[in-house]
Amino acid sequence: MTSQTTLDTTGPGDGASPSASDQVPASGLRGHPWLTLLTVAVGVMMVALDGTIVAIANPAIQADLKASFADVQWITNGYFLALAVALITAGKLGDRFGHRQTFLIGVVGFAAASGAIGLSSSIAAVVTFRVLQGLFGALLMPAALGLLRATFPAEKLNMAIGIWGMVIGASTAGGPILGGVLVEHVNWQSVFFINVPVGVLALVLGVLILLDHRAENAPRSFDLLGIALLSGAMFCLVWALIKAPTWGWGDGLTWTFILASLAGFALFALWETKVKEPLIPLALFRSVPLSAGVVLMVLMAIAFMGGLFFVTFYLQNVHGMSPIDAGLHLLPLTGMMIVGSPLAGVLITKLGPRIPLAGGMASVAIAMFGMSTLETDTGSAVMSLWFALLGLGLAPVMVGATEVIVGNAPMELSGVAGGLQQAAMQIGGSLGTAVLGAVMASKVDGDLAGNWKDAGLPPLTPAQLDQASEAVQVGVPPVTKGTPPEIVAKITDVAHDTFISGMSLASLVAAGVAAFAVLVALLTKRGVNAEAGAGVGHI
């Protein structure tokens, strides 16, 4: 049967139905815009923080639970996989049942799963509850954006999204610092237990403050087959990206999952044109600004997440910093995102998103190019310059692209739009880590044997060279016990120089991606559905 989904194109003065925020009047604290922002920021902080804070705890978890390296990888992969696969469906649940309800369920589930991890005594239990964390986090994130979209008037929405982006950026970048402090001075369980009081606070605030916003023409049914097809396609794509570094990009398994993903997306798109109330009305993507916003989010995450992945190894394994010191050296990045996000909201409100987005991605490109020039002895001042420029560029992109995606979607699809925004960022981060990781691995594999020989080091067998290459890809010198100090020094120099060459090439690729994103940013414009009272769509 043909699609019966239509998108109303009447404006606020053309007999449009009242906005969701007009359907249930705010009274006192309940529904107050800035208190709503405070509430969702507390919840979102938990999810964003968990994306990076756990990485610091992984070695301690591995030692305490006697887990294998593959098991520990699943602590991160299980969380990320569940989060990425469920985001869009979770956004649809918010559109159907109300974003207040899905936000509160997400907060309670995320905090409970966090507490359960802290009480776990086996790696299997930790991984299981990490998957649950990801699923509940997926409920929480799009609901937060849906609540902001329904609560704030158009002239203040960008400022609200700016503060929301500041919380995500600060939490993501601050995770390693807080994680390092907790692991070193308390234990690895505290990294998860900390979410419990934060979750309780978010729950109390949510019950007292959040107002249930539901668009009049919100979906009334579920596209179950669409959910299954999209979830399957997302799973295959993210799984391929996670496993590609292990399997290899030329391996048949990698391409089997990539092709299965493409087939799943194609079937999903076909089905969405047939169902009465589709999971994602494809008419959304007739909006060039919305589509550009989604692509921009992917490209930004590729450059940012992929590039930052190697910087942590550079700081800890090449410069020999502790996790806390490495986190402190990233404070210029965090600080500029904290300061820049609200300012970007003001700027985007005055100028529209196009110029700030293009300027932001240009700054990211310059910063990544600057990071390609880092050496083994680069000082903190130079590093701080490039980190600060990166944070300055990311702030308007995080805010502007989010506003473009959410603002160009109808009110009744604000949850789906929020899910699209988050899914684009998650997929972009995974692509960045996988693709730039492949660039790094290829460069290290190509240079290591020659550099090793040029240093006059004893020759390695092919198996030894492969093992050495894996260590060098994360900046670790492949030194065995009993190696004489003078040989250790040579191996360390070779390892670090080879790692730097690989990081430099990966950073240049990230700079190229960011430069291309400048062109995509020029296709964006202010959300056509962001006008006060316009709870309808213009496609």
Instruction: Indicate whether 417 and 348 sit together in one domain.
Output: yes
Instruction: Indicate whether 480 and 495 sit together in one domain.
Output: yes
- Determine the pLDDT at residue 69: 60
* End-to-end CA, the chain: 22
pTM of the entire predicted model: 0.77
Neighbouring-strand partners of residue 27: 30
**φ, ψ for residue 209, nearest 5 deg:** -110, -40
- Determine the pLDDT at residue 119: 93
Domain count, the chain: 3
- Determine the pLDDT at residue 217: 62
Instruction: Indicate whether 245 and 292 sit together in one domain.
Output: no
Q: Does 11 map to a domain?
A: no
Describe the crossing of helices 123-151 and 154-185 by its angle, rounded to 10 degrees. Answer: 160
Residue 228, exposed/middle/buried by CB under 10 A (0-12, 13-18, 19+)? middle
Q: Does 370 map to a domain?
A: yes
Q: Does 237 map to a domain?
A: yes
- Determine the pLDDT at residue 528: 58
CB 505 within 8 A of CB 497: no
Instruction: Indicate whether 267 and 180 sit together in one domain.
Output: no
Low pLDDT (below 50) residues in the chain = 1-26, 530-539
Question: Which segments of 455-484 does DSSP mark as H helices, in order?
Answer: 462-472
CB 51 within 8 A of CB 110: no
- Determine the pLDDT at residue 516: 95
Q: Does 536 map to a domain?
A: no
Instruction: Indicate whether 103 and 207 sit together in one domain.
Output: yes
- Determine the pLDDT at residue 386: 93
Question: Which segments of 377-484 does DSSP mark as H helices, in order?
Answer: 380-407, 414-454, 462-472
- Determine the pLDDT at residue 33: 87
- Determine the pLDDT at residue 321: 83
Taking alpha carbons only, the member of 39, 37, 42 closest to residue 160 is: 37
Instruction: Indicate whether 24 and 162 sit together in one domain.
Output: yes
Instruction: Indicate whether 520 and 401 sit together in one domain.
Output: yes
Provide the residue range defining the domain that includes 255: 222-276
- Determine the pLDDT at residue 527: 64
> Quick one: CA dihedral 502, 173, 336, 166, positive or negative?
positive
CB 206 within 8 A of CB 100: yes
CA separation, residue 378 to residues 229, 314, 328, 474, 491 (Å): 48, 11, 16, 18, 20
Instruction: Indicate whether 175 and 291 sit together in one domain.
Output: no
CB 229 within 8 A of CB 50: no
- CATH code of residue 436: 1.20.1250.20
